[in-house]
Structure 1
């Protein structure tokens, strides 16, 4: 049984997914899933995404965004795992969420809510790791003002919003559990 078909919370989830999809496809996973011929040469189909990523790197010199298996030093080997999670869990979940909430317009089932709860916790946790990691960046290369901007303005929303999403899905799941317990109690009384 699907519930929460047309709520403002579902609209927030839809907005989040529509914002997340191009970031996953054309920023985070640009050089992970697309061949370089599609983004590096001027005039290539994804060159604008490549230029945007290069602008971000020039502005912040963010080592997390610059990570690659070839340049990985021992301390940031966790990024490879995060890239795999993004490609094989986050991206499919975002696509499924859009399909379920936008195309089917059926709202969320209990299984969907458990999936989105897990998704939100994973996004929040991996972002929290990135926020924590930026606090250890060399202060000669990353002045405190840049580190704070990276932590609170760039990564911060990617932590806070998924935490709120996890709370939303947890409350939906809890509502289902309470309804099931109430139905079971009333059945026992009969």
Structure 2
């Protein structure tokens, strides 16, 4: 198979770079992702954090995975409660994403008031206006370096506005999707 090419030229080959943390982060930043806020609890127990490390794992049963840092304040409460909700964000929820990515993000009633929404069937906040909200029960955890992989079984799914644009992150900044031009004949 030939090396992929792009409009700007061929894939650079040659001596690979050692995968230290900064180089690895830059390389992974070249992979566009959606953005979500994971919530745990509701009311005075609301916790929320922005993530982009979400993966669909299985359709039967419905499973997804996400990663939280070992030092994340969200990790202990999620492990203790054994449930969480993944709220997939729209482009209009960028400020909520930025705020919940900050280490000084709101918690408790302040977080619920800031994010809006209501208590889901699993006990965690479902954010109003999200593309989708996936209520999960924690089934498995896997230590992975400085993070923990959480696998959750989706027990309820809420669909958001069908015409909403997703919030996308690429190259260290938020981006907008544009429709691809059809290939030329």
Between structures 1 and 2, the one with greater helix share: 1
Between structures 1 and 2, the one with greater strand share: 2
Query: Highest CA radius of gyration, 1 or 2?
Result: 1
Structure-2-length-normalised TM-score: 0.26
Structure-1-length-normalised TM-score: 0.26
